[in-house]
Structure 1
């Protein structure tokens, strides 16, 4: 044994009788504690690498709404907005008046009808004056003619009375031979001629009376015809006036939350223009709350119905309050154009925002929000009962869908395969998609 390997003092210390029952210290307690901590760390890392899970998520944006449809508040007629007292987020009720409109077309129709009424009223006055003048003229003519006829008939009555007495006396005189039979017959013929003449004058007077009555009836009929036209025009004016009053009132036909306001007072709008959009809350139920979310086309290919999702309202901090749990119910097949999103939400600005967030290639994904009646807002949250805030239809939210999960060691092995065998990024992506698709099925 080479005694020069150890120091002399060390050898004397070990060989001393007083050191025989003392353990040899390989390392200190501090070093042992550090070694133990390292071992625990390695064991924990191995356990996490084998039993732990790393989630792969894709994110999108959307808006909370019911499965019921979006509705709009439309202009009842074309014109200028006088007032429109709505803002995004306001709640309106069915039948609530939200503004007034100055209608050009209804006002023009009312003006034309009023002019027609004034013209007919003028015609009525003219007809009344004309018929009054005609009636007065005919009455004057009838009065004069009646006076002449009455005078003639009166004279004939006197002559007939005298002839009647003469004929009665002439019969006796003829029988006694005072006058000839021929003279008596001549007086009888005169009497009958006078009777016929009086009858003719009486008939003429009756015909003139009938003519006057017919003329009065005809004139009254003409006046009545114009009066009917005037009354019809009055009714039309009143109807248009009520229509103008009604069309100037902008009334909501649904109850709901306003999601967008498209016009401001002073704007010129067309008939049936969409003044504002709202989410219909008339048929609200607890089971129909959904998030209409939009993801990029690449991310949407990873999503399958039934996958879990978390939804974070824009007014909530997820790290403090948590998120709403949800489940994917529908994944769109095609890229949606901005017009389709605009038709869904009736909000062009929001459609452009979603388009920008999805790199101009949005795909619609619907997420059913989980309900929990015990929470303050009725939704199931990832952290207890969640914050005491109102999450209503029209709330903007961020959505995150779990599309894959795998042990950490799998990522390590994937990295090693890529490093050692040169597996490309696309091959790895296809492998994960195949695994995700198999899991979704």
Structure 2
């Protein structure tokens, strides 16, 4: 007999058609409750992933500052600190002397400038004596030349002119007499020629002898010779007149030369005086420049050799010691200005790496927690970004703002850093004077307090972390 696996009653019940008209239950009732809860949870998560927001923050270390309040002390010149007139914590007034720098190089420059000044004055005095002596000699020589030239010109204008006039008058008289004599001889010649013609006519008639004719001809020849001599004399007088005119022209030329020489001598005198004046002016200018240089160096020794407080306030740092040698522009300390000298209230200054700082823009929300309080207990001070440096800043420029190089070194970021300024929200009802995310501590904060800063770069829907492509929409 075969072994029965199922009971007979169960097999009969399954084979019976009585239950075919009833619906089957595929899922138990308890499973429906779990499924509904799971669906609600998934739906809520989906809605949250789309409509919810997760803030993306950038964290960094910062420091509270009061812009314009902490002033750095710098020495404009290098040298040895020979006097310290203040100490850390002491209150000073604006312009008070804090330290004295012995500027050996500047004192040496002053000594050299004074030696140079004496040399310039000595050269000037020596040159003045030489120029005065030379001017006197040149003036005497010029006076002699001018007297000689004027005398020659006077002789040419008076004696020479009168001599030429007399020669011309004598020549004119001689020409007039010669002309008159020639006219008379010419008339006599005509009469002799007529007489000769008559004697020849009488000779043909044998009324006159040949000796008479010859004698008459000889008289005519002598008159011809006289006329020729007079004509020659007239020509000589004409040549002499030309010589007189030439002498007069030479006289006039010499007059022009003498006058030109007088003008040249006068011009040389003016030029010599001008050269002397220019030489004196140049030396005086060099002396004045050297005096100004000495005055400038002395003023630098009197004023810039002293390190003075730029504002009224409290000395918060002294970075030099008595006897220390410093260079030009060296930082000597810092002064925290009084309230009347402070232009703005406390602000938070953050230094971030380039990769983080370049993501920030003015207006972003910030939470600032001073390191002296617990963030888990008190939260942070609310604020917003007001300024982001467009270029990386150096530790030197950061020190000039913060006022303490040690704090800057602690905040410095390797590979360059971006400076971010945060304006803190005020709350007159809070003890600290700032608006906190919670009630805030019972503390007051001052410049130099370091902070932990969180800056909200953006708020993103959770689903964009899973599907970054949705950030484009």
TM-score relative to the length of structure 2: 0.47
User: Which structure exhibits the higher relative contact order, with contacts defined as CA atoms closer than 8 Å and separated by 6 or more residues?
Assistant: 2
Larger Rg: 2
TM-score, length of structure 1 as denominator length: 0.50
